[in-house]
Amino acid sequence: MALSRLLFMAAKMVATNPTVRKEVQKVAEKSYTKAKPYIKKANENLKEAANEAAKQSPPKENISKFMGAFVGSIKKKMDKN
């Protein structure tokens, strides 16, 4: 309860204070710039995992088998890194 209230008050302050809003925007832009390559790599890994799983078991035939293969493929990619 107290944490949610603090977060609400912080969000309200950011929304109403132009100086704080600019600083938050700068931090968000820096964070996005740093995270973008990692997000792109994760997206590529998920796409590859989905393609591998689809080759093993097409999702239209048996979705549960496809999902099992998809999760297994993701785990293999995570173990590599």
pLDDT at 32: 94
d(CA 63, CA 57): 8
| pLDDT tens profile 14-53 | 888 888 889 989 999 999 999 999 999 989 989 999 998 8
Per-chain mean pLDDT for the chain = 88
DSSP-H helix ranges across the chain: 2-16, 18-56, 63-80
Structure tokens at 79: 């173990």
DSSP state of 57: S
pTM (predicted TM-score): 0.60
Side chain identity, residue 73: S
d(CA 71, CA 23): 39
